[in-house]
A and B are shown apart, each in its own frame.
Chain A
Amino acid sequence: MTFSTDLAVTVGSVAMETPLIVASGLWPFDGPFWCEEALGGIGAVSSKGLTLHPRPGNGGVRVWETPSGLLNSIGLQNPGVEAFAGEIIPGLPRRRPLIANVAVERLDDLERSLDLLQAMNLPPEVVELNVSCPNVDGGGMAWGLDASGVRQVLDVARPVWRGPLWLKLTPQAPRLDEITAAAESGGADALVVANTWLGMAIDVDRRSPVFDRTFAGLSGPAVFPLSLRLLWETASLTALPLIGCGGVSSGRDVLAMIMAGASAVEVGTALVREFHAPLRFCREISAYLEERGLRSVASLSGCAREGRKERR
């Protein structure tokens, strides 16, 4: 993977060859996807949301197209941390930093999950705490809605997991200032801004909500301006490294997130439209840098904030 300009970035201590991370929930555990051919343009991969025990996920309709967006209600279908750590990951090539997206159901399960990950021969490079899944009962997004939930989760996770610990926020949290303060004091190393936006759909032919759980998570280009705004606000509140996420669908979107203060960017729904989107984004970013004689994408981080009168 070579580009004519420097696309390498770091998020805290985590170094990546490009600023693009595959967002959780979009990358299969099938071998061919972990080979160089499929990973073009990708700097790191976040796993499907993991729980201690396997989960079958939700019944009924799970995905629904909206104008420029995608509603999903997958419900954390996953093989469980034991299978992930013991069989799945050891059987796959490790060509990029691996981010284990760990969903929080119960605190004792979380502790056990992180123990299992920590004990791997080659643990994931990062744990991304998902306190923001809108599609499950009992935990999920509930942990990320207020500062006390965030603190409880970090107080359990931080002593167990010694590597970089990222916290994936939910846009549904009303007090961003309190959440970021709790993340800082709880020892998070970076924030992912953010998970999906709560939405819904009604099937007028059936005269009923599309999803069994009524509400679902909205992603895709429709949410990009919302995510960008949330990222901008978060960057005003904290000095923690930030990862932008939500609706990124071009190299310019990646640049916008970076200029707003992100160190790296996660890409999810764009892959659904165009599997090799990350490669295209990298080429677009590289061309942008080259045309302007800029040396690296990392040098642009936060540049759109300069001269703005704001806190921090």
Chain B
Amino acid sequence: MVALSFLAAFEYEGKLSRLSRVDPRPKLIWLVAAMVLSIAYSSLKAQLLIAVIMVLPVIALGGVASVVLSLLKSTSLLFAMVFGLNYVFTRDLSFSLAMGLRLVILVVCFASFFRSTHTSELSDLMTKLRIPFYVTFTFTTAIRFIPTLAMEAQEIMDAQASRGLELERGSLLRRLKNYIPLLVPILVCAIRRSYQLAEALESRCFGYTKKRTMAYGLPPMSKTDWMFLAASVAQSAAVILLASM
């Protein structure tokens, strides 16, 4: 399953690397800066600068070199497609390479961020950004139930396959049709689950008071966090400076 191993590269790794001990606020700023720069500049030189100055040090800090490698493997087809299509249409080798590299940078940056940030840190981050609780809660619930629903879908697929449903047979249309007997039970299960969830929430006093306590939040930024932030700003400045030279 290529898709699953691809997703695994974005999964939280636990507090293993130095990067995962950095506060999510400066990390988010780094992520946004790298993304914006990578999208703003389209020259090969700029993309290379971003990769070397902004991305490589963070990969080192994250200790995610092996993950990045497997990520590159699973995105190589995508890279080839982006590069190939750009080359076919523009006949511009350096531009096409830049577009391919941009894709890699975006994927690697996202993976570094999500691997090193616990989802509850993400929700704390959203709270800090003054996003209303019901939005944050909806987000975390969605994240919480993705693996559960995925496992359930897998069970349903296995059950249907053992009854003789063949998913990977026939023409494209035929294959799409094969998925219909899966869709119905998956939807029904998901809806039933959502009812049970609502019931469980009420039974845990969800909505008891308007002034809900947020017992957990991001701790104050440490010295390292501020250093990371300063480094991100310096890296961005360096990229902008060198790219426009």
Please indicate whether A and B come from the same complex rather than being unrelated chains. Answer: no
Which B residues lie at the A interface, using CB under 8 A?
A: none
Which A residues lie at the B interface, using CB under 8 A?
A: none
